[in-house]
Structure 1
Amino acid sequence: MGLTSDKVLALAVLAALGLFVGTVWLWPRLARRGWRAVSGRVGLLLSTQLMLFTAVGLAANQAFGFYASWADLFGQEKGQGVVVDHTPGRGPLRVVDTRRVPGAASARPEVSGQIQKVDIVGRTTHIATPAYVYLPAEYFQPQYRKRVFPAAVVLTGYPGTAEKLVDKLDYPRTASTLAKEGRMRPMILVMLRPTVAPPRDTECVDIPGGPQTETFFAKDLPDAVSGHYRVAREHGSWGIIGNSTGGYCALKLAMHHPGVYAAGAGLSAYYNAPVDPTTGDLFHGDEELRNRANLSWYLKHMPAPDTSLLVSSSKVGESNYKATLKFIERVKATKLTRISSITLESGGHNFNTWRREIPGTLEWMSGRLGGR
């Protein structure tokens, strides 16, 4: 059973309850002196607390998607190989499964849209990653068969799993509801995690001698999606959204590549790439690369990008609040880059907070993208 399995969580909860009941039941028998009684009490207490922490940890992982598998949890993820498909005629994007939009009233795609699980291989970077693509109902309706749609890339945090964008953050269902209410235009969503070279956190950087993650998101991903779906290709048709690490990536990609991404939204984002055990050496002594990864430095020293940015934070509960205020002022000083914000009175760095921000973010994104 996998780390995120409901059965594993249920077994952990039952084991914790069983140990608690056992401790209460056996405690009078062990309330004696002697090394055996003392060892029994210590063993019961440690076992109960360990299983309780395990159950809480599994529940938190289910809610927030920190780790996708046991191998991911213990640092044994083996997914570093790169798959390059040389089959003649096969493109860089392949659909491997389809599913209905969670909570949709109908399974018919022309009524409720559809989610497709895809495998993507970058033509230039050879980075391979799975993703989920949400296609709105209009995509399948005969009257729109020649219509092209705007698209938004949606990124998780680190390590994150793309499934959580569908099942926990409800991006497809929210987009479908907003479109039906007339609050946003129908839009294609391309949902994946920024960790395209697991388990390494590349921070969407083109690492010297390593994964060219920024190029993948700036070139390979839009090319692959546009070559397979009816996505508008003209300038102003693509946006990018992310939370936490994905939020940093979204802002950076919109700033570095305004010709690709006309808008970037960073929910609970930070503004400079960290260097820690999860990232390894991202820059290999390249000072220019390091500086470009610092968004405040970029705004101060590089030409202002012609793009729109959205940032979010909370006055209480988010550690990026002060940094976000400074970033807003820095963007406003450029006179060219547009900046908008969502500020909650309180909200932590978690799914519940982001679910409160996603409807407004999608509406904002819809208002800034083209397509016909």
Structure 2
Amino acid sequence: MHLSYCTNVHPAEDLDGVIAQLHAAAGPIRRAAGLDLLGVGLWLPAPLAARLANETAALARLRAALEEEGLEVRTLNAFPYEAFHADVVKLGVYSPDWTDPARLDYTIDAARVLAELLPPGGEGSISTLPLGWREGWDAAADRAATAALVSLGAELRAIRAETGRVIRLAIEPEPGCVLDDVADTVAWLDAHRQRIDLEHVGICLDTCHLAVSFADPRTEVERIASAGIRVVKVQASAALHVDRPGAPAARAAVAGYAEDRYLHQVRERAANGPIRVDDLPEALEVLPASAPWRVHFHVPLHVEPEPPLRATTEVLEAALDAVVAVQPVDQLHVDVETYTWSVLPGVDAEHPLDLVDGIAGELRWASARLAERQGQPA
């Protein structure tokens, strides 16, 4: 398995900014984590992806910076289109969706860039949104998204023929979207398998999203495998778990994670399936709070939140075990994706983050757990 961390945690959106972040953050993170080589799951905003796909000199600059810092690229995060660090992102992260030609163009640009950055013989992955946000989605939208993914499959086959590099798209189920969970995603891909190339399109298993759905990791991974679909990428992430959301201390603690930039979907466990709310402030107002909550807030993997909250790292570990059990993992990409460091409770201008130390700690944690599953010394 190939370990990386996702650079969508950094706000850079142009080439100079991305190269600067490689020198100021990714290289120092590699050294702090004690790794000879570190994978970076690059986030390239759409305008930058287009530039790199069309300017040889620009791509050469990026490649040189990666090599200088001992970094490799096997996966890209092409879920956020741009402006992922705007003051308010919320539902904007799902635009443009897969009905918009801009989404297809962006993903093709990302694939062409990745094909040039992969190491010899490497296979690459690109994670993307689960079609779009659910509201307003209809049969016409589904037809448009299907056609776009058919076109993408043809482009990925062309890249493979031209370069010998295999690039796969990893559709990432997320609460509240058209493809809300793994079951939705498997059913949709299975229904469209006569048109969509499942050799080049599979699933990104984000383990925070998996936890929020209260799904059993083994059951969901077996569901994917039984349908003949590939887990292309695992986004190693943890959600917030609240055992007793009605208790005053727990309520006060989880309320500290409500913030204005990102959407934090909440699910409350119930006998007939989770009760669903689209954002944490709404959940605090309307949910019964009579059973445990899971909150879509990516929390650091190696540091437990203060009680009475906890992180769902056990879901991440169970998901890795399940994937290892059902498919070859030599090309599986495991990307640590804690993009929320800047909005954690207590973080502000007077209390700046040490991202190098924090992400290096996550990578040490993840590296040890991957080594256990590959029979290597931790």
Q: Does the TM-score normalized on the shorter chain lie above 0.5?
A: no
Larger Rg: 1
TM-score, structure 1 as length reference: 0.35
Q: Which has the higher contact order (CA 8 A, sep 6+)?
A: 2
